[in-house]
Amino acid sequence: MSDKDDNPTTSGSGNGDGVARPDRPLGRGLEDVSHLFLSQRAPEAERASSAPAPRGSVALFRRASLSRDRLAAILKEFIGALEDGLKLIDANVPCHPCGEIDVLAMSRTSQLTIIDAETTASDALLLRGMGHFDWLVRNMPNVRRMYREHSVNFSLAPRLLLLAPQFSVVLQSAARHIPAPQIQCIRYHAVDAPGGPGILFEPLSGEERQAGG
């Protein structure tokens, strides 16, 4: 038997392990490891034995739950996984009376970037992010002094990244009609892995936001 027969390739909507792949390209980092996720049709796989899998077999992971503190810590450590060139500036920035900005970062184009996250789908995440944007704009002279050691381009308005495991149609519809700030919704997928929680980030495309995906 040839090598080609020993190693079937995937095409169409399926792959060698029987797990369907979506026709639409997946988000950041998902395409290469999408076969690692359990489907909703195989709950018995979540109760599989924890014994080491034979070489060449597919590894199965359970969905993991994260606290906001744990998620924030991961974001600070792996900020570049959200977006190429993203750099950490600060975290837990107080914005009285609007709570705290979870993470403040700078994009590769030196644009100030607000990152607010939730561990559940919540329409209040958009309201919180807008409050933080308003606070930064109204207090820009102080913000300039606080972060003068960073090469932020303060001529650009801050933008807003919202991070959650899911976004409602209501939130996405509202975000589409907000002229400022620039808003990006990013879904995250957390799984249990041998070394600790594993997270994949999936920025929603414009088409997905319009469809409420």
Would you kindly state where each structural domain of the chain is located, as residue ranges? 68-211
Question: CB of 195 within 8 A of CB of 172?
Answer: no
- Give the per-residue pLDDT at 34: 45
Burial bucket for residue 163 (CB in 10 Å: 0-12, 13-18, 19+): buried
Per-residue pLDDT of the chain (213 residues; tens, 9 = 90+): 545 444 444 444 445 444 444 455 555 555 554 444 443 434 444 444 445 555 667 767 788 888 888 888 889 999 999 999 999 999 999 999 999 999 999 999 999 999 999 999 999 999 999 999 999 999 999 999 999 999 999 999 999 999 999 999 999 999 999 999 999 999 999 888 777 778 889 999 754 444 344
- Give the per-residue pLDDT at 68: 85
- For residue 186, the Cα-to-chain-centroid distance in whole angstroms is 4
Question: CB of 165 within 8 A of CB of 120?
Answer: yes
Question: CB of 60 within 8 A of CB of 33?
Answer: no
70 membership: H or E segment, kind and range = helix 68-77
The architecture CATH gives domain 68-211:
3-Layer(aba) Sandwich (3.40)
pTM exceeds cut of 0.75: no
- Give the per-residue pLDDT at 136: 96
- Give the per-residue pLDDT at 133: 98
